[in-house]
Amino acid sequence: MIVVVMGVAGVGKTTVGRLLARELDAGFVDADDYHPAANVAKMHSGKPLTDDDRRPWLARLNEVLREYAARNAGVVLACSALKQRYREQLFAGVPDGRLVYLRGTKEMIAERLGARREHFMNPALLDSQFAALEEPAHAIVADADGAPEAIAAGILPQLS
């Protein structure tokens, strides 16, 4: 099973994604690990990425998903995937990919981002994340305001 956990920065994609991967006995990939240094520096400085910045990053993530699919191996990818066209690029050539949208309020997420100490994402970019967000029409939707274990437990039955 190929699962993409999407949402704005700070919503819990990595935490929930790791829990889902463990329960599904699948691999886990964090899209942040695939950003080129220039993208990381740009976000760290408080500048939002452009579509041109994201294009090669999304293409590489699509390759990763297709590699898992070719091996018939499961994977959970934590990725912002804020726009429909980004999701289309991620899932191109990936059979039976599933999308999980972690939804949260700007206030809740701002509080989480303010508490982060070891992440390159500048909290000042939260407004641009919400401005870019196109909520998916077809996804498993989970509210991100609970405990990560409870969120993952609520998602799992919907993946089967």
Q: How far is CA 80 from CA 33, 48, 58, 121, 160, in A?
A: 12, 13, 10, 12, 23
Q: What percent of the chain has pLDDT over 90?
A: 70
Among candidates 11, 41, 9, which has minimal Cα distance to 141? 11
pLDDT tens for residues 136-160?
999 999 999 999 999 999 999 999 8
CATH number for the domain spanning 65: value is 3.40.50.300
- Report how many domains make up the chain: 1
- Encode pLDDT of 70-110 as tens digits: 999 999 999 999 999 999 999 999 998 999 999 999 888 87
Parent domain of 16: 2-159
Statement: the pTM of the whole predicted model exceeds 0.85: yes
